[in-house]
Structure 1
Amino acid sequence: MEVLLRLEGVSKRFGGVVAIDGFSLQLNEGEILGIMGPNGAGKTTLLNVISGELKPDSGKVWFRGKDITSCPPHKVVKAGISRTYQIPQPFVKLTCLQNVAVPLIYVKGLPKKKALEEAEKVLDFVGFWKGKGDCAGDLDEISLKRLELARALATAPKLLLVDEIAAGLTEREIPELLEILRRIHGEMGVTLMIIEHVIRVLTSIAHRVVVMDRGKKIFEGKPSEALCDKAVIEAYLG
């Protein structure tokens, strides 16, 4: 199985606070990897380093065998990595269709007409059959999450980084989004790294989980085993 993403000794500090501490990781192509841990564990900082939004103080990030440690976000996207945000960040005054067309025009270089056609297909894939012409600023929470996934998928990534997709959703809505992630993995062949605070979300979808606490890896293995691990229990319960 081909190694898609590799991190080696990655550290990131904010003043005197160590957000990531000597973190190493290998993600194989075709995997669904869960990154879990309590609030403040360093999960989102890790994602920001991979996506190029933050530069690590030390360590290296490789994607498909190439060093992307110093690449800015737009080059990381062009390399084949897309991400979502815990709090969706659409262009609120644009329609849903226009939001998805933007990366198709500016990243993929498609003409506007073709971009809008492709954007419609991506929205259909994530279950956004109605309201494509609605303003993104008027959407409810689950529709915003669907739009966020569609925007990330528009660039045809090899790896999708998903940041706490369950945040703000009801118990009924969470399975709907997880099913979309399964389809993204199964039908599109996209490797997934899912950052999540809610343990049960990852146990239902991830092949493997890594648990972080205070910037360090404290567990790596099967989701079912993480729930029984002493260090994991202590990290969550204190």
Structure 2
Amino acid sequence: MRIVVLTGAGISAESGLRTFRAADGLWEDHRIEDVATPEAFARDPALVHRFYNARRSAAAQAKPNLAHHALADLAKRHDLTLVTQNVDDLHERGGSTNVIHMHGELASALCAACGHRWPSPAETDVKTPCPACSAAAARPDIVWFGEMPYHMERIWQAIERAEIFAAVGTSGQVYPAAGFGQHARRTGAHCVELNLDQSAVSRDFHEQLIGPATHIVPKWVAGLG
């Protein structure tokens, strides 16, 4: 069976990583506009580096949970394309391979001067040099608000051939990912939303499974056989 699963911040939240959709509008006590846009990096790159150093440290200390492990098991039995909006590596540490990180990865650094990517050190700053061109132009390899997500052609192709599309722990407020369910339904997939509560795009899904990801994802995976 061909399955596409999209995961969002809700699946990592149960491993202790906070989401940015908090009621106070802050993300780890920072405004999104100050740490997650190209303009923020241009304005105060030192702050952005410190912010992502802290996120990298928090992600390294987190452990994959039962939902991460269940999706790794699902890939052993079905043709699974796993797409995540998350920038941590909990899916990989939970046993998944070939994870599509549409919003980039904390484990990767990107040179703003030449576009070279390399494994990120635990901490970066404004003086971190690019190993390819030597420019002090390192930035987190993260898709910020206003930038184009990665691997979109590959993702759309997988959705268009999917028999099942599932969204796990997503808010349904960030596009283009928020439109995946509607597109999958239009192209014939059975669409399932697994979330703590209904999202902004719940109407695009045939069914909803409500509850913590560590409870409902393993149960859903087991039901697929």
TM-score > 0.5 by shorter chain: no
Q: Which has the higher contact order (CA 8 A, sep 6+)?
A: 1
Q: Which has the higher strand share?
A: 1
| TM-score relative to the length of structure 2 | 0.34
